[in-house]
Structure 1
């Protein structure tokens, strides 16, 4: 128990400043309210009530069960603790999770609250009346707030569970869709391999045979060699594309086929692209800045593709324009930039139409996104066109660490430039086997779970329903209280009201038994107030006071009343007086 108390008190350190400020303000307000409610009971009772409220207010969040029972016991003695009961029961209803434990604690609180109220010697009502009114007060100040708070907490817990289950369903749905995409990619890859692979193999074989034909001239043989090299390169490109469709990354294809040619398809192969463009008669400048750093295989291949596509576009759309290729090794990424100058006016006038698929830049952007980078394409300031790609160095791989290729200051591990939370085509390795490392992160409540908010009702709707239920409960309790009060007033009028004719018919000296037979029977809670306002009673006599049923004065606060005093079994005095209301 000591460890539990210490643990609960230690949770106060985790309170936010906002909660601490709110609890402090609430404790001060409740303390002042309790002190004001005990104004006529003396300074000591006022101070005790204020200190009890200030102490119980913050403890209700740490020890909800004990504070609920203690507040119920104090509320049975101090009627001003009704507001404190509302606050404590609200917290207890939400914090006490076990239903049986909550029922037992609220029942214990009810017994203490009603029992101490009934046994209060200063209580003017009868036992039944006190029991009824204290029960109504307990229901209004404790049961209704506790049930409302418990319903609110259960609703929030249910919504949280539904969100988690829905997130699980969404994750499973995305995994199924991801596997369906993988199967479709594999089907497309198989079709490409069966259709194009055969044709390219035939081209390579025939051009290889044609190259060794002795009837060809040297120039023709050189052209055939170029065709053979192009067909072989096309075969490699096809196998690489098929591998990407099947497994997700080009380096997996090379590892599977045993081809050791990453340099020709990476940053190292950019020199060959530049030389080939220069061979076509175009002025191409290549610049490198910064300290060269290795990239992940997929990012290295993406850099090669960016330069390749940019040079192809420049040669097709900006003939005779100068081209600049720049590789900038930044601290956290490689920036690949290819820009061409404006097209000369003479070339623009005789420009021939070119065939373009329109998918080159889109493919570059997609390729860069898959490795965590980005690609920008747009007009340059001098009238030309510029394509720039930013490719992160990526996390350290075991192969790079063994080869010592990663410098110590290569930037943060795993730096990316796109959000991969919903990218199911690969941002981290091995998240979903066979799908290129899809990274599915559904932390929190996704936006697609709004159907649960609609089904369960939004916050405003729930607030309206809760307030409506509380209002109905209070109306029912109010009607019941009115009925009881009317019944009580009727009974009190029969117990405290006396007809003037009865007063006149009684004579001093009559026996007490005969006189009391004519007087109202039963104990009235108004009788002590009438006795206090009556004249001094004869010494040793027992007196009973009643209000007159006759005409009361239209103005003034005094009400006509009668008093009968008995001693030694006889009526020794009867007296009429004016009692202040």
Structure 2
């Protein structure tokens, strides 16, 4: 822990020493500077390093101000490394981007103001903008990318920890769900058996063929069975805490799909049941609307049998609730090593009297139904059937011990990780194309400005020929371009002696040489030539 606390100050101290080296080498008296400038530069860099963690943009702004005080072109050998380093740190440590963009715009505007105020050529402002883009903006974008990449790595570890917690929670929920299923099985089987015991004991209690002692023993047996049933209900309530409340729904023991359909018909629903398979392909439809027999060619696994029962029960419940009066078709098809259960309610005119629901539902809906089918190793699909109706279809394997199909929906952690990766890719793309776009835009602006400047110093050949030696002529004469060149081109011959000054103008718009030279003496044109 102590080493971690010392790490930050030691890094800052080393950074200060590194940034102070160019100041010591380039601002000493041997390079035209002074020890006072060296002292000021070292102190300013120390203060900027000290505040670079809490106020990175302020540190960058101070270094930029010191560089602009040295030259309007911004790039100085003494502070160039500091510009790059603090630009990177601003991108790495600053969360918001608007303040940084405002700072970059302010630097460009301040540089233009300094150029206009000092009277230096405007071309130096383009040098400032180029230095700003390459020495500050590009490192800043690199720091932004590194920051986003580090965030991605940190998010990955957080998601890994969250996934571990979610897996533990899922395992715990699975255990609770299994306990609830066991509780339901206990209630269905033991409750049914205890009810039969109590019923038989009650019959013995009133049987006149038995004596008083036997009737009294039968009564005690009936009361004990009732008490056992009550205790069983309490235990089931504990085991099924957080799931279904005991007593909200009781499925009769041994109830089949045919029983569920008959119970729905008794409540007023129009249900047609079709059973096809190895043992029931040749049957015909009778009054009950059932084709074939319910017999199976082989033993159906208990999980599959209960899942098929739940599919039909839940689908009929939903049909009675959401499409009252519409006919419902239930189809059981056994073949290919699987049992296919289909329940559909096509579009039809509703019955004159809306039927009631076939019974209370389990409350879990299609979500719980999907879980039940998945645990049985099958697949569940539901949705509109394309003809305006709704269909529920489950394919259940008949092989014992079939594994459940894992859900295919991507977890939230995966989506968040993909989103973080996309953000990092976008940040990397911005770190590449934004500097390129800035350099390209700057080059186009400089090209346009150069062409405009050249057009202002271009002397037409006819105008040049019309000029006569001895004509009164001044530098601002109307026959001359408004802006002569700053000086003679490289390799031009020496100016004639006795001249007050010589003016140079472009002879072509794009080429730098040759140029026209006009020499003035006493306000008159004393000589002209094509040089370069």
Q: What is the TM-score normalised by the length of structure 1?
A: 0.39
Question: Greater relative contact order: 1 or 2 (C-alpha under 8 angstroms, separation 6 or more)?
Answer: 2
Query: Which protein has the bigger helix share?
Result: 1
Q: What is the TM-score normalised by the length of structure 2?
A: 0.42
